[in-house]
Structure 1
Amino acid sequence: MKNKKPWLLLALMLILIISLTGCAPGDGDNSIDNPAGFFWGVWHGWIAPISLIVGFFKEDIRIYEIYNNGWWYDLGFYIAIISGFGGISLSRRKEKYKRN
Structure 2
Amino acid sequence: MALAVGVLLVLGACAATGNESAGTASGQPGFWLGLWHGAISPITFLVSLFRDDVGIYEVANSGGWYDFGFMFGVSIAFGSSARAGSGSARRRGRSR
User: Aligning the two structures, in what range does the TM-score lie when normalised by the shorter sequence?
Assistant: 0.5 to 0.7
Could you tell me how far apart the structure 2 residues matched to 1:80 and 1:89 are?
15
**Structure of larger gyration radius:** 2
Which residue type is aligned with residue 41 of structure 2? A
Pick 1 or 2: higher relative contact order, CA cutoff 8 A, min separation 6. Answer: 2
Unaligned runs of 5+ in 2: 1-23
Report what 1:55 is aligned to: 48
Partners of 2:65 and 2:93 lie apart in 1 by: 40
Q: Secondary structure at the match of 2:93?
A: coil
Deviation at 1:47, TM superposition (A): 1.2
Letter in 2 for 1:85: F
Contact 2:28–2:62 at 8 Å: present in 1 too?
A: yes
Number of aligned pairs? Answer: 68
Aligned ranges for residues 63-74 of structure 1 at < 5 Å?
63-74=56-67
Unaligned runs of 5+ in 1: 1-31
- How far apart in 1 are the matches of 2:36 and 2:76? 12
For residue 36 of structure 1, report the CA deviation from its aligned partner: 0.6
After TM superposition, the structure 1 = structure 2 runs for residues 34-45 of structure 1, keeping only pairs within 5 Å, are: 34-45=27-38
Q: RMSD across aligned C-alpha pairs, in angstroms? A: 2.1
- 2-side partners of 1:88 and 1:49: how far apart? 12
Secondary structure, counterpart of 1:96 in structure 2:
helix
- The separation in 2 between residues aligned to 1:69 and 1:47, in whole angstroms, is 19
Matched AA of 2:72: I
**Percent identity of paired positions between Structure 1 and Structure 2:** 36
TM superposition outliers: structure 1 runs of 4+ over 3 Å? none
- Provide the residue aligned with 2:9 in structure 1: none
Q: Where does residue 96 of structure 1 map in the other structure?
A: 93
